[in-house]
Amino acid sequence: MRVVMKFGGSSLKNGLLIRRVAEIVRGYLGKGFEEVVVCSAMDKLTDILLDMIEKASKGNEDRVEEILDLIHRMHHGAVREAIKDESLREEILGSIKKEFEELKRAVYGVLYLREATPRSRDYIISFGERFSTRIFYGALRDLGVKSEYLDGKSAGIITDSNFGEANPLLEVTRFEVRRRIKPLLDGGITPVVTGFMGVNEEGVYTTLGRGGSDYTATILGYCLDVDEIWLWSDVDGLMTADPRIVKDARVLSRVSYAEAVEMAMFGAKGLHPRALEPAMNAKIPVRIRNTFNPTACGTLISSKSGHTETVVKCVLLVQDVGMITVKGVSMIGRPGTAARIFSILAESGINIMMISQSVSESGISMIVRRSQLQKAVNCLEDNLLGGFVKEVEAEDDVNVVAIVGEGMKGTPGVASKVFGAVARRGINIRMIAQGSSELNISFVVKEEDGVEAVKAIHEEYGLSLIGEP
């Protein structure tokens, strides 16, 4: 069985955990698996690197030095914990030292210019995966596994030049990955690949965006026609609700690609929404697994949805959002009104998460990230007030509740049951949205009612039972 295994930052938090993960990989190799391993940066390191870039761009040399020292100590300590053989340890430390000097030069370039371009930012944050993957590669060799270290460039992951959110050029990448990695697998060598990063067609480092290591794993799975892709993190799988909110939330044994995409879009832990596309195209099953509970089966994501008798699969709560309502009688029957509103927000770099408009056309409500709420309001007021828009209202104390499940398609009364359960708890609904796919119903409530709304729906549909295999 050929599998891509991706390990997240929480699984690689320190040297002891890196060695433990290497032992998991070795254990599956001993069972006849062929594996490609993808590593994220050590836990929190990407945030640390971004903080260092910010401090460098402001000319704060003392803080930059402190962060560089922290990064040096983190990785040197991890090497000493993960690798027992002295000569191998020194080899890996030598490689990391060389890359660390590259990192310092790049950061000091930002410090002296007091400017971080998207290109330099991608280059600097790529070192997180380069360091952790190098250490993991050393730990695997220390355990007697024949392996080879590959960064995004040497693995053949080719992207466009959209730095920070690069898009893979899949067919070029497929050719390069097969040419470079398939011979290693055929020769009994385990490739250990940096997650999150690739290069553009000029060979310049790019990154795939937050959660991009998942994307790396599915890209490699697509290119190599693997049997499954396993995403290892610190959760047992996708769940019926956030267990911090609903104590009896259960792990879902199986969901469809479509359900998983919806869950990922609403922040389900352990999954990146863009990552599923290559797996969906190739119909490769993706499994969410827990490094800290490796005997658990996890959640299998495939073309088929499990628990088909269950209408609703999970209930999710999206916090840290705000609601904007644009009103005006002159909006009625006026072509291009919505396009104008959305264009203004897009030009300001503001993403709209959810939209609702009544048939009267006198108002449009939108959900945006709370951190962007005031900026969005200012942009709309500056560009629209005094014309066909008479009022722009903003609310910063709302939550979005999302209900997901393929069983909702064509099932009468789903909305009635959902809203009835919420109404019985005395909760008022402020805004509703449902797409024609009928896979998701989303609605807005006051922030103080968000948790209670999730509990009401979870209980109404008996979701504490559906996690059973």
DSSP assignments along 187-234, one per residue:
TT-EEEEESSEEEETTS-EEE--TTHHHHHHHHHHHHHT-SEEEEEES
Domain shared by 31 and 178, yes or no: yes
At residue 167 the predicted structure's pLDDT band, cuts being 50, 70 and 90, is very high
Residue 468's pLDDT is what?
47
Q: Let me know: does 406 contact 397? Beta carbons within 8 Å.
A: no
Domain shared by 319 and 229, yes or no: no
Average pLDDT score over residue span 91-118: 97
Whole-number Å distance between alpha carbons of 364 and 379: 16
pLDDT, tens digit, 9 for 90 and up, residues 181-225:
999 999 999 999 999 999 999 999 999 987 799 999 999 999 999
At residue 469 the predicted structure's pLDDT band, cuts being 50, 70 and 90, is very low
Q: Let me know: does 93 contact 79? Beta carbons within 8 Å.
A: yes
Mean pLDDT score across all residues of the chain = 93
Q: Is 16 in a helix, a strand, or coil?
A: helix
Residue, of 429 and 464, whose pLDDT is higher: 429
Residue 17's pLDDT is what?
98
How far is Cα of residue 127 from the mean position of the Cα atoms in its chain? 19
Whole-number Å distance between alpha carbons of 130 and 149: 9
Domain shared by 129 and 228, yes or no: yes
DSSP assignments along 388-402, one per residue:
TB-EEEEEEEEEEEE
pTM of the full predicted structure? 0.90
Residue 200's pLDDT is what?
97
How far is Cα of residue 108 from the mean position of the Cα atoms in its chain? 30
pLDDT, tens digit, 9 for 90 and up, residues 255-296:
999 999 888 877 666 567 788 999 999 999 999 999 999 999
- For the chain, give percent helix, strand, coil, nearest 5: 45, 20, 30
The domain tally of the chain equals 2
* Residue where one domain finishes, among candidates 234, 266, 282: 234
The answer, yes or no, to whether residue 360 has pLDDT greater than 90, is no
At residue 140 the predicted structure's pLDDT band, cuts being 50, 70 and 90, is very high
Residue 270's pLDDT is what?
56
| CATH number of the domain where residue 25 is located | 3.40.1160.10
The answer, yes or no, to whether residue 305 has pLDDT greater than 80, is no
Domain shared by 230 and 329, yes or no: no
At residue 386 the predicted structure's pLDDT band, cuts being 50, 70 and 90, is confident
At residue 373 the predicted structure's pLDDT band, cuts being 50, 70 and 90, is very high
DSSP assignments along 300-317, one per residue:
EEESSPS-TT-S--EEEE
- The amino acid occupying position 18 is I
In a domain, 301, yes or no: no
The answer, yes or no, to whether residue 156 has pLDDT greater than 60, is yes
Domain shared by 225 and 334, yes or no: no
Domain shared by 340 and 222, yes or no: no
State which residues form the domain around 434.
314-460
Closest CA to 227 of 469, 62, 414, 1: 1
pLDDT, tens digit, 9 for 90 and up, residues 128-139:
999 999 999 999
CB neighbour list of residue 367: distance below 8 Å, 6 or more residues apart: 321, 322, 323, 324, 352, 353, 354, 355, 398, 400, 431, 444
How far is Cα of residue 314 from the mean position of the Cα atoms in its chain? 18
Residue 307's pLDDT is what?
57
Closest CA to 195 of 63, 5, 383: 5
